[in-house]
C-alpha cells in the first residue's frame, strides 16, 4: 500500500511539473536562464532566492521541480526493484527512470540551442510519456488492480471497449502532440477568434501556423467523439462497474473543461495561467483515458493474478536474494 | 542494479538509455554554450577610407509619423522589485510635429564595391534601470558590440537575428560585459531580455559607416558620402520600411523626408 501511495505521489508531482513547464512556455521564459545545468553560474540548488524574479522564476522553479520529480522517480524505480514481484512493473520503473533522465537532457538541450522547435516539441511530448508511465505504475500497484477489482468492477473481456479505449488514448496523445507543435511554433493565436476561424467555419486563407492551429481544433472534435464513444459504451454496458463508470464520467467532465479552457486560451489572448491549465488538463484527459484503457484490459491479467494470489507474494517486500522466485507473479 | 536491470528487454533498454544519457551529458558539458561563436572571423578591411573628402557630400532629412500614435503605456507588471522607476513602452516614440524617433536610416544600395574600415571603438548597448539604452543602435559588420549590465540585477542578453547567429548570455551583476561581433549585415537584429519581457532593443548591422538613428527631432544625417545614386532605407520596428532613391552631386547636400502612417504594419 505504501508503494502505491508513493506511486500516486510521483504521478501527482509529475502533473505539477507539467503545469510548471506549461508556465515556462506560456510566459516566454524558456531562455530566461541562459545556462544549464547551472543557473546564472550558480549550482541550481544554491541559486539565491532574491534572484527568482521575472522569467527566471518560472524557468528556475521548473528546473527545481523537475529535479525533484526525477529524484522521486529514481526512488520509485529502486523501490519497485526491491519490492515488486512482477517483472513488467519493475521494468516500467526503469523505463520511467530512463525517460525522465532523457527528458532532463532534452530540457537542457533546448536551452543550450535556443529552443529549437523539434527539441522543444519532443520535450513537451516526452513529458506526457513520463506522466503516463507514472500513472501506469500507480494503477498497477493499486489494491484494486492487484485484486482484479473483485466488487463487480472487472468487466468481461470486452474487446470493443478495449479497442475503443486504446484508440481514444492514442487520439488524445496525438492531439497533445499537435498542441505542442502549435505552442512551440507560436501558432497559438494564428486563428484569433473562437469558435469560428476568421469569422468562418473553415479559415478563408492558410499558412503553416493557421494549418497547425486548425488541426488542433479539428483534433479536439475527434477527441470529443472518441471520448463520447468510449464513455457511452462504458455507461451503457458497464454502468454498475464502479472503476469503469467513474473513469468514464471523469473523462467526459475533463473533456468539457478542456474544450472550455481551449476557447478561453484563444479569447484571453493566451493568458498564461489559463494556457497552462489547458496544458495540464490535456495531460489529465490522457491519464484518465489511459486508466480506463488499463482497467478495460485488466481481465487479460486474470490468469497471472490467480497464480500470484495463491502464493500470496503480491506486493510483499522481499530481500534481493529472493528475486528469482518472483518471476511468476505478473498481475 | 545494473545486473538486475539487464535481465529483461525493458531493463536493457533502460540501461542503454542511461548510458546514452551520461555520454550525451558529457559531450554537452564540454561543448556547453550552444549556438554559434561570438567571435566571428572579421573580414579584411583596408586602413584608409575609400571616399575622397574633397567630393564627399551629405544626405539628411526627417522622419515623421502621420496619425495618432499609440500612447506610451506604463509597464504595469514589473516582476522584479529591483526595477525601480517608471518604465514605459518604447515601441513608438514621437516628438513635436509628429517627429518619429528610433528610426534606423541607412544607405541600402549605391556604394558599389567600396570596402570601409571597421571602427576600433566598440558600439555600446547598455542595460540601465531595466531598459536598453539606446533602444535602436547602428553598428558595422566586424565592429565590436559591447553589451554592458548597468543594473545590479540579473539580465540575460538575447539576440534573435535571422542571418547572424543567435546568442543568449547571462549578465549576473552590474558592470558585467559581453562582447559580440556580427559577421553579416542585417537590419534590424532584435534584442530582448527573457527575465524582463518589456526590454527590447534593435541593432542595425551594415557594412559601411553611413547610418543614423533618428532622435527627438526625427532628423538624420548621413555624412561623408561620395557622389552617386543611392537607395536610402528607413526602418521602424512597428511601421516597417520605406526607401527613396537620391542622387548626390560632388560635395552636394540633399534633404529627403520619410513619412510613416499609423495604419502600417511592423518591420
Q: Render pLDDT for A106-146 as a digit per residue (tens, 0 to 9).
A: 999 999 999 999 999 999 999 999 999 999 999 999 998 98
Q: Is B11 on the interface with A (CB under 8 A)?
A: yes
Instruction: Name the percent of chain B lying above pLDDT 90.
Output: 67
Provide the pLDDT for residue B7.
Answer: 45
What digits encode the pLDDT tens for the residues B40-82? 555 555 567 888 888 999 999 999 999 998 888 888 766 788 8
Contact B91, B47 (CB under 8 A): no
Q: Parallel, antiparallel, or unpaired: how do β-strands B155-159 and B211-213 relate?
A: unpaired
Which residues lie across from B222 on neighbouring strands? B59
The whole-number pLDDT of residue B255 equals: 96
Nearest residue in chain A measured CA to CA from B80: A53
Which comes out higher in pLDDT, residue A195 or B31?
A195
B150 burial type by CB count under 10 A (0-12 exposed, 13-18 middle, 19+ buried): middle
Is the CB of residue A102 less than 8 Å away from at least one CB of chain B?
yes
Would you call B75 an interface residue with chain A, using a CB distance cutoff of 8 Å?
no
Q: How far is CA B255 from the centre of its chain?
A: 26
Q: Where are the alpha helices (DSSP H) in A185-268?
A: 208-237, 242-267
Q: Which residue in the set A28, A81, A111 is minimally distant from B4, CB to CB?
A: A81
Quote the percentage of chain A above a pLDDT of 70: 89
Distance CA A134, CA A137 (A): 5
Flag whether pLDDT at B16 surpasses 80. Answer: no
Which of 170-199 (B) contact A at CB < 8 A?
170, 172, 194-197
Cβ(A190)–Cβ(A210) below 8 Å: yes
Question: Taking CB atoms and an 8 Å limit, are B28 and A55 in contact across chains?
Answer: no
Q: Which three cell numbers stand for residue A180?
A: 505542442
Nearest C-alpha neighbor of B140 from the set B56, B228, B45:
B45
Q: Which residues of B touch A108 (CB under 8 A)?
A: 25, 28
Chain A nearest-CA distance from B37, in A, is 12
Q: Which of B165, B120, B157, B126 is nearest to B140 (CA)?
A: B120
A35 touches chain B (CB under 8 A): yes
Measured between CB atoms, does B27 come within 8 Å of chain A?
Answer: no
| Closest chain A residue by Cα to residue B78 | A54
Whole-number percent of chain A with pLDDT over 90: 83
Candidates B2, B5, B15, B31: best to mutate against A (most CBs of A within 10 A) is B5
Classify domain B57-261 at the CATH class level: mainly beta
List CB contacts (< 8 A) between B4 and chain A.
81, 320, 323
How far apart are alpha carbons A185 and A103 in whole angstroms? 20
Judged by CB atoms closer than 8 Å, whether chains meet at B154 and A98 is answered as no
Q: How far is A29 from chain B (nearest CA, A)?
A: 6
Nearest CB to B8 within list A30, A53, A91: A91
Measure B20 CA to nearest chain A CA, in Å: 9
Å between A323 CA and nearest CA of chain B: 9
Contacts A55 to B, Cβ<8 Å: 194-197
* Prediction pTM value: 0.83
Domain boundaries, chain B: 1-32, 57-261
Confidence of residue A328 (pLDDT cuts 50, 70, 90): very low
Q: A44-62, pLDDT tens digit by residue?
A: 999 999 999 999 999 999 9
How many Å separate Cα A146 from the centre of its chain?
22
Residue A317 pLDDT: 37
For residue B96, pLDDT over 50 is answered with yes
Kindly list the residues from chain B whose CB atom is less than 8 angstroms away from the CB atom of residue A105.
21, 24-25, 28
Is A55–B8 a contact, with Cβ atoms under 8 angstroms apart? no
Query: Which letter does DSSP use for residue A299 in this model?
Result: G
- pLDDT of A193 above 80: yes
- pLDDT at residue B163 is higher than 70: yes
Between B122 and B43, residue with greater pLDDT = B122
Domain boundaries, chain A: 1-141, 148-311
Query: Which residue of A94, A101, A104 to mutate against B (max B Cβ within 10 Å)?
Result: A94
Closest-approach residue (CA) in chain A for B25: A105
Q: What is the mean pLDDT of residues A174-178?
A: 97
For the stretch B199-250, pLDDT in tens is 999 999 999 999 999 999 999 999 999 999 999 999 999 999 999 999 999 9
- The pLDDT assigned to B59 comes to 97
Provide the β-strand partners of residue B144: B181
A56 inside 8 A of chain B by CB: yes
DSSP states of chain B: -HHHHTTSHHHHHHHHHHHHHHHHHHHHHHTTT-S--SBPPPPP--SS-SS-TTT-EEEEEEEEEESPPPP-PBP-----TT--S--B--SS-B-GGGBBPS-EEEEEE--TT---PPPSSPEEEEEETTEEESSEEEEETTPEEEEEE-SSS-EEEEE--SSS--EEEEE-STT-EEEEE--S-EEEEEEE-SSSTT-EEEEEEESSS-EEE--TT-EEEEEEEPSEEEEEEEEETTTEEEEEEEEE-TT-EEEEEEEEETT----
Chain A contact for B5, CB < 8 A? yes
pLDDT of B87: 85
Kindly state the DSSP code that residue A37 receives in the 8-state scheme. S
Question: Which B positions 134-173 lie with beta carbon below 8 A of chain A?
Answer: 153-154, 156, 158, 166, 168-170, 172
Q: Rounded to whole angstroms, what are the CA distances from A40 to A17, B74, B80?
A: 22, 29, 16
Taking an 8 Å cut-off on Cβ atoms, the answer to whether A78 and B1 are in contact is yes
Which of A41, A55, A88 comes nearest B170 by C-beta? A41
Nearest beta carbon to residue A95 from set B14, B34, B172: B14
Amino acid at each position: 500500500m505504501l508503494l502505491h501511495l508513493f506511486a500516486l505521489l510521483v504521478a501527482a508531482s509529475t502533473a505539477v511539473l507539467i503545469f510548471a513547464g506549461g508556465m515556462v512556455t506560456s510566459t516566454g521564459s524558456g531562455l530566461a536562464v541562459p545556462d544549464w545545468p547551472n543557473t546564472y553560474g550558480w549550482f541550481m540548488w544554491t541559486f539565491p532566492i532574491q534572484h527568482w524574479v521575472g522569467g527566471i522564476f518560472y524557468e528556475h522553479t521548473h528546473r527545481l521541480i523537475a529535479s525533484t520529480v526525477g529524484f522521486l522517480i529514481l526512488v520509485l524505480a529502486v523501490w519497485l526493484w526491491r519490492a515488486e514481484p512482477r517483472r513488467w512493473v519493475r521494468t516500467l520503473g526503469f523505463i520511467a527512470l530512463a525517460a525522465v533522465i532523457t527528458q532532463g537532457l532534452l530540457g537542457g538541450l533546448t536551452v543550450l540551442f535556443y529552443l529549437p522547435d523539434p527539441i522543444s516539441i519532443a520535450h513537451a511530448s516526452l513529458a506526457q510519456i513520463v506522466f503516463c508511465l507514472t500513472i501506469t505504475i500507480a494503477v498497477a500497484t493499486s489494491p484494486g488492480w492487484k485484486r482484479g477489482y473483485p466488487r463487480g468492477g472487472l468487466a468481461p473481456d470486452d474487446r470493443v471497449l478495449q479497442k475503443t479505449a486504446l484508440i481514444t488514448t492514442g487520439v488524445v496523445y496525438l492531439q497533445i502532440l499537435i498542441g505542442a507543435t502549435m505552442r512551440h511554433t507560436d501558432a497559438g493565436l494564428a486563428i484569433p477568434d473562437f469558435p469560428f476561424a476568421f469569422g468562418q467555419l473553415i479559415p478563408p486563407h492558410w499558412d503553416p501556423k493557421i494549418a497547425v492551429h486548425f488541426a488542433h481544433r479539428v483534433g479536439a472534435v475527434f477527441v470529443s467523439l472518441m471520448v463520447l464513444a468510449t464513455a457511452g459504451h462504458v455507461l451503457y454496458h458497464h454502468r454498475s462497474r464502479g472503476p469503469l463508470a467513474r473513469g468514464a464520467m471523469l473523462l467526459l467532465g475533463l473533456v468539457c473543461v478542456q474544450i472550455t479552457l481551449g476557447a478561453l486560451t484563444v479569447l484571453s489572448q493566451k493568458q498564461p495561467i489559463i494556457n497552462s491549465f489547458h496544458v495540464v488538463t490535456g495531460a489529465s484527459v490522457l491519464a484518465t483515458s489511459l486508466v480506463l484503457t488499463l482497467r478495460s484490459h485488466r481481465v487479460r491479467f486474470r490468469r497471472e493474478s490467480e497464480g500470484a494470489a495463491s502464493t500470496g507474494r503480491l506486493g510483499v517486500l522481499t530481500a534481493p536474494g529472493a528475486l528469482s522466485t518472483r518471476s511468476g507473479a505478473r498481475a | 542494479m545494473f545486473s538486475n536491470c539487464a535481465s529483461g528487454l525493458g531493463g536493457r533498454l533502460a540501461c542503454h538509455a542511461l548510458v546514452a544519457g551520461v555520454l550525451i551529458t558529457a559531450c554537452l558539458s564540454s561543448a556547453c554554450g550552444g549556438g554559434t561563436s561570438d567571435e566571428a572571423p572579421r573580414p579584411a578591411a583596408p586602413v584608409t577610407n575609400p571616399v575622397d573628402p574633397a567630393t564627399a557630400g551629405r544626405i539628411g532629412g526627417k522622419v515623421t509619423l502621420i496619425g495618432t500614435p499609440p500612447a506610451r503605456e506604463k509597464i504595469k507588471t514589473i516582476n522584479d522589485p529591483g526595477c525601480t522607476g517608471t518604465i514605459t513602452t518604447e515601441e513608438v516614440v514621437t516628438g513635436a510635429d509628429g517627429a518619429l524617433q528610433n528610426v534606423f536610416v541607412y544607405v541600402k544600395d549605391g556604394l558599389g564595391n567600396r570596402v570601409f574600415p571597421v571602427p576600433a571603438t566598440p558600439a555600446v548597448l547598455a542595460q540601465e534601470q531595466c531598459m536598453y539604452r539606446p533602444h535602436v543602435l547602428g553598428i558595422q559588420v566586424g565592429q565590436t558590440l559591447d553589451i554592458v549590465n548597468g543594473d545590479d540585477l540579473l539580465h540575460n542578453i538575447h539576440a534573435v537575428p535571422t542571418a547572424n547567429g543567435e546568442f543568449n548570455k547571462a549578465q549576473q551583476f552590474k558592470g558585467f560585459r559581453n562582447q559580440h561581433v556580427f559577421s553579416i549585415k542585417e537590419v534590424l537584429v532584435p534584442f530582448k531580455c527573457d527575465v524582463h519581457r518589456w526590454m527590447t532593443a534593435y541593432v542595425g548591422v551594415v557594412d559601411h559607416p553611413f547610418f543614423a538613428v533618428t532622435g527627438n527631432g526625427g532628423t538624420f544625417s548621413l555624412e561623408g558620402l561620395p557622389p552617386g545614386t543611392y537607395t536610402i532605407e528607413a526602418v521602424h520596428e512597428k511601421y516597417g520600411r520605406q526607401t527613396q532613391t537620391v542622387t548626390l552631386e560632388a560635395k552636394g547636400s540633399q534633404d529627403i523626408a520619410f513619412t510613416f502612417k499609423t495604419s502600417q504594419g511592423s518591420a
